Amino acid sequence: MPDPDRDPGGELFAGHAFRDAGLLKQALTHRSAGAPHNERLEFLGDALIGLFIAEALYARWPKADEGALTRARSELVRESSLAGIARGMDLGGALILGPGEMKSGGHRRDSILSDALEALVGAIYLDAGYEACRSAVMPWFAHAIEELPAGKVEKDAKTRLQEWLQARQRALPVYEAVSESGDDHAKVFRVRCRLSDAELSAEGEGGSRRAAEQAAAEGVLQHLLSAP
């Protein structure tokens, strides 16, 4: 927790004046650059973002059910959404990467950007406490929250595909791992979604198996919806 007796001035980054510049440096340091890196801060920031967003949605949509709130939160905190926020503040240009990641363009990769954003949130919390962290972070999400349709967010692709098939009494899809590439900290997964009762399949990629499955399900669903 922050020390209330420390000088409130400090290094300004992403709208927060860090009293402990070491926390900021750690948040920006990828594992490829050595220790101390940002993975522990990422763990903390991930939980904080989820809580901040849950609080905001709960207050904003007093009549929404749990399913709508959960879908909205998932939309706001998914990897691509966080990476978009990170790009908006040019977080990639401030990252400290190892030579290999620098050469491969790691500062542009969604997984690295989203992880760094979460680490930054964790660092702000440790530097200044819960209320200051929430005040610094929530403006980053203000536009995205404003753009959400009131109380209603579309279900994810896997759920929509499953419901479409069930409504027609068809067999559920099968998801198969196709490939897995990249270093441990920057994996790229490729998954195939296949219908067992028809010659139809689609493949998708993502920074996690779940993301790849969603992309593949979206591909199959689009085929089904566009069929005559």
Is there a catalytic annotation at residue 118? yes
Which of these is catalytic: 75, 118, 127, 213?
118
Which of these is catalytic: 46, 79, 156, 218?
46
Sole residue written with tokens 């993975």: 39
CB atoms within 10 A of CB 150: 10
Backbone angles phi, psi at 13, to 5 degrees: -150, 130
Is there a catalytic annotation at residue 46? yes
In whole angstroms, how large is the CA radius of gyration of the chain?
Answer: 20
The beta-strand segments (E) located in 51-127 are none
The beta-strand segments (E) located in 108-173 are none
- Is 118 annotated in a binding site? The answer is yes
- Is 203 annotated in a binding site? The answer is no
- Is 115 annotated in a binding site? The answer is yes
Beta strands 200-206 and 188-195, pairing class:
antiparallel
Sole residue written with tokens 């900021």: 24
Beta strands 200-206 and 174-181, pairing class:
unpaired
Sole residue written with tokens 């296949």: 194
In sequence order, what are the residues at sequence separation of 6 or more whose Cβ sits closer than 8 angstroms to the Cβ of residue 190? 177, 178, 179, 180, 181, 203, 204, 205, 212
Annotated binding site: 42, 115, 118
Residues belonging to the active site:
46, 118
Annotated binding site for Mg(2+): 42, 115, 118
